[in-house]
Amino acid sequence: DRSERSFDKRDSFKRSDRNDAPRSFDRSERSFDKRDSFKRSDRNDSSRPSNRKFDGDKSRNFDDNKNFGDKQYIKRPKKKAEDAEDDGLVRLNRYIANAGICSRRKADELITAGVIWVNGEPVTELGTKVDPATDEIRYNNERLKREKNVYVLLNKPKDYITTTDDPQERHTVMELVSKATKERIYPVGRLDRNTTGLLLMTNDGSLAEKLSHPRNSISKIYNVELNKSLTQGDFNKISFGIELEDGVIKPDDLSYVQGGSKREVGIQIHSGKNRIVSRIFESLGYEVVKLDRVVYANLTKKDLPRGRWRYLEEREIVQLKHLI
């Protein structure tokens, strides 16, 4: 409910120290919009003649190699996609990981140890690529086959660690999905031990890597419960961006939870930095009592109780891949 979010950047300072005529503002119907804060019509354009001519067509088309005075603008050729150059080849460590043997890091160790054979020959060079369609890859004298891709969505409860193996023998999310598939799946990203909510798990390494990469800006929505009410002033500070030790962070959206107290807020964010949501509120003196991820990319918790999992539907997989 954002009815109480009436604020304006221009209200944060006064211009009464300038030699301007007194101004009056009618704020009854004003809503903040960046486009309203500057209008070209406010300039005294008549004092600055321009030689620019516009034909009314917003699209500006330039010839590929056209001279503009002494400068020549040359259209750069597009780079070839890596996938096109690889002709379907994949790195050997990825192939081993996709076969469910181990992680890519462990696969590199197997390769350097000389226990991976390709087409009857041992391979020890890291970065080797293979053709899944024609090459025969063996480990322990068994031919490796690529697993089918599996996509599992878990509604994580508290007190479970987001890892495939914990040396301290604490509960891990892998226990919750042990019956989901025989393939070796692993979490995409992570949730802290006491954070609940959506966690995607898959053996699709390519998709997992893209979803985790910051450049793809995958959106997440969290429900946050604080130890005290979030003041309107702090609400505004977070909305405009908070300076943390590793840079400024600005949420995509922020609101009080409808029907709840001001201790409960919803925040939408695409940053994947460690404990980013908790650190935002802690920087202003709040303690996060509960943190629940309710949306991940295009996925929601609808009909998925806490501690349960389900397979992604085909349309959800397609939508996920289209996001990146």
Are 254 and 266 within 8 A, CB to CB? yes
- DSSP string covering 70-129: TEEEEPPPPPPPHHHHHTT-EEHHHHHHHTTSS-HHHHHHHHHTT-EEETTEE---TT-E
- The alpha-helical segments, DSSP class H, found in 157-312 are 173-176, 205-212, 232-240, 276-282
Nearest residue to 299 (alpha-carbon basis) of 187, 165, 198: 198
Are 212 and 272 within 8 A, CB to CB? yes
Longest dimension (CA), the chain: 88
Terminal C-alpha separation, the chain: 31
Which of the following is catalytic: 131, 135, 192, 234?
192
How far is CA 10 from each of CA 192, 301, 314, rounded to the nearest angstrom?
Answer: 39, 39, 48
Are 108 and 126 within 8 A, CB to CB? yes
Told to judge if 108 belongs to the known catalytic residues of this protein, a careful annotator would answer no
Active site residue ranges: 192
